[in-house]
Amino acid sequence: MSFPPPSRRSAVAPFIAMDVLAEARALERQGRRIVHMELGEPGAPAPQAVRAAAERALREGAIGYAEALGRPELRRRIARHYADAYGAEVSPERVVVTTGSSGAFVLAFLAALDPGARVALTAPGYPAYANILAALGLEPAFIEIARETRFAPTAAALEAAHRQRRLQAVLLASPANPTGAMIESGELAKICAFCAEAGVVLVSDEIYHGLSYAQPCETALTHSREAIVVNSFSKYYAMTGWRLGWLVAPEGLVRPIERLQQSLAISAPTLAQIAALDAFEATAELEAVKAGYARSRALMLERLPQLGFDDFAPPDGAFYFYVDVSRFTADSAAFCRRMLEEAGVAATPGVDFDRARGGRAVRFSYAGPEAEIRLGLDRLANWLGKSGDAAL
Ligand SMILES: Cc1ncc(COP(=O)(O)O)c(C=O)c1O
């Protein structure tokens, strides 16, 4: 055993999508052409105006630290976004700029919860949630969701979990990863009411807002002043590597979050903060990117069932399909490995999102370029012997 041994809290599960990516890259180094449907990363670059603003800022001078809570212009602009997009009034003082939404979760949990607190989250759900909770000494309370409720968590299920053993917080996302499911407005209102009445902290991950295909997204702030809302420039704004996100906190948590941020990160990246101001003006470009996702989604809706991948709830938003593959396998990790090696298509096994039931599910991302999604579907058709036209 090495000394010092790793801490117990570092024993978090690997993020399997990243492992699949590493295997795919290894095959690419051997000369294979791989279609990437494993990662939730926009195929498009950051908006042109964002990149131009970053170039200007680099030419003009030093990029120093920013204020721990974020550059005031950006905090004001984010606050205005709530008025523009949702008709919700948010004071800039409640906005904190973070290192992606990932940084926002760490700040929110540290500021709002003591060690050992129980946090409800869905299974399937975004794998990093449980890993962040584990690393911070918090206890995940998994709420199983299924196709019957269109993979949306309900207030009733949360109340039942709370009755069984007291929850200190609820963490949910709408649209969600890996299912693309959205919580409909009435249910979201009930969840917010339950949290307020029971004194449970609600953390609403709104990172996929802007990427919904049937109805507009609704912020938890519409129903609750106490909710902690987390968002990011990574998805709709196509700025994953800029590592920029934000949270909206209740007034009483802002100063604790500021103190934590001062010591944990000092500030979110200044260059990204300067450039991100322009992301809010790039609507035409970003809506064109979104129209591409909508076309890929329609193609997937049509073609996946023809391939035998017919057990899924049509996703409301984000850029994923979470498909039950029990008719092919009970070991989705092995299935995805074969799919990668034999068909040259990378996808993420469900065990990443649902440790108990994910062996029977696969997540396909359609965030990449449209032509790649089409090629991926053709390859899968060939692989499964369902008449496709692409060479492997
Ligand atoms: C649901 C969800 N939340 C949060 C994140 C983290 O994103 P970032 O830290 O880039 O904002 C992701 C990334 O895929 C996600 O899917």
Dump pLDDT digits (tens) for 2-56: 788 999 999 988 877 778 889 999 999 999 999 999 989 998 999 999 999 999 9
Cα–Cα nearest to 365, from 38, 31, 3: 38
Residue nearest to atom 7 of ligand 1 (CA): 101
Furthest-apart CA pair in the chain: how many Å?
A: 60
Q: What confidence tens digit (pLDDT) does each residue in 203-233 have?
A: 999 999 999 999 999 999 999 999 999 999 9
Tokens standing for 335? 């299935």
H runs (alpha helix) in 199-331: 251-264, 270-276, 283-306
- Most ligand 1 atoms within 8 A of CB, residue of 206, 232, 247 to mutate: 232
- Identify the structural domains of the chain with CATH numbers, from first to last: 8-46+283-383 (3.40.640.10), 49-281 (3.40.640.10)
> What are the distances in angstroms from CA 110 to CA 104, 116, 196, 207, 257?
10, 11, 20, 20, 8
CA 351 to ligand 1 center in whole angstroms? 18
For the segment 101-119, what is each residue's pLDDT rounded down to a tens digit? 999 999 999 999 999 999 9
pLDDT range class, residue 294, cuts 50, 70, 90: very high
Distance CA 191, CA 168 (A): 14
Q: How far is the CA of 67 from the centre of ligand 1 (A)?
A: 23
Q: State yes or no: pLDDT of 147 exceeds 80.
A: yes
Please report the pLDDT score of residue 1 as a whole number: 61
| DSSP 8-class letter at 267 | S
Distance 102 CA to ligand 1 centre (A): 6
Q: Is the CB of 204 under 6 A from ligand 1?
A: no
Tell how far the Cα of 379 is from the centroid of ligand 1, in angstroms.
Answer: 28
Collapsing DSSP to helix, strand or coil, 140 comes out as: strand
Residue 41 Cα: closest atom of ligand 1: 14
* Beta carbon of 218 within 6 Å of any ligand 1 atom: no
User: Rounded to the nearest whole angstrom, what is the distance from the C-alpha of residue 37 to the centroid of ligand 1?
Assistant: 16
The pLDDT, as a whole number, for residue 391 is 37
- Rounded Cα distance, 72 and 121, in Å: 33
